[in-house]
Amino acid sequence: GDSVTQMEGPVTLSEEAFLTINCTYTATGYPSLFWYVQYPGEGLQLLLKATKADDKGSNKGFEATYRKETTSFHLEKGSVQVSDSAVYFCALNAGGTSYGKLTFGQGTILTVHP
């Protein structure tokens, strides 16, 4: 079945450090890929998406590129801020008959210190 694997956390960085959170997936066909973020006390918010191979999703300084050859969708940010502290989830939607279903990774807790 479909699955998503994220790097284990937690990840702790100093402000302005470079961030990478690895995400790889297993799916049949050509899924759409997403990164969601959950800030403390809030629901998940869509951070960025990519719907086909080589697409780059970007938002709020975060980027991720859909790499079909390595089945990966790693999240990167060049300079993190304290306000980026949150839980980050990689997810896929495989479409087909379960077109509404998101399959998530286990989440990565990011803490950024001043």
Partner 1 sequence: EAGVTQFPSHSVIEKGQTVTLRCDPISGHDNLYWYRRVMGKEIKFLLHFVKESKQDESGMPNNRFLAERTGGTYSTLKVQPAELEDSGVYFCASSQAGGYEQFFGPGTRLTVL
Question: Shortest distance, CB of residue 68 to partner 1, whole angstroms?
Answer: 19
* Position 108 contacts partner 1 (CB under 8 A): no
* Position 31 contacts partner 1 (CB under 8 A): no
- Indicate the residue among 12 and 106 with the shorter CB distance to partner 1: 106
CA distances from 77 to 18, 55, 59, 103 (A): 6, 17, 10, 23
Q: Given the DSSP bridges, would you call strands 3-6 and 103-104 parallel, antiparallel or unpaired?
A: unpaired
The alpha carbon of 38 is separated from its chain's Cα centroid by a whole number of angstroms, namely: 11
Question: Which residue from 106, 58, 92 is spatially nearest to 78, judged by alpha carbons?
Answer: 58
Identify the residue among 32, 35, 86, 92 touching partner 1 (CB under 8 A).
Answer: 32
* Position 57 contacts partner 1 (CB under 8 A): no
Q: Given the DSSP bridges, would you call strands 75-77 and 103-104 parallel, antiparallel or unpaired?
A: unpaired
- Indicate the residue among 101 and 113 with the shorter CB distance to partner 1: 101
Identify the residue among 93, 94, 108, 110 touching partner 1 (CB under 8 A).
Answer: 93
Instruction: Kindly indicate which of the ranges 18-26, 60-68, 71-79, 93-101 contains the residues binding partner 1, using the contact rule CB under 8 A.
Output: 93-101
CB 64 within 8 A of CB 4: no
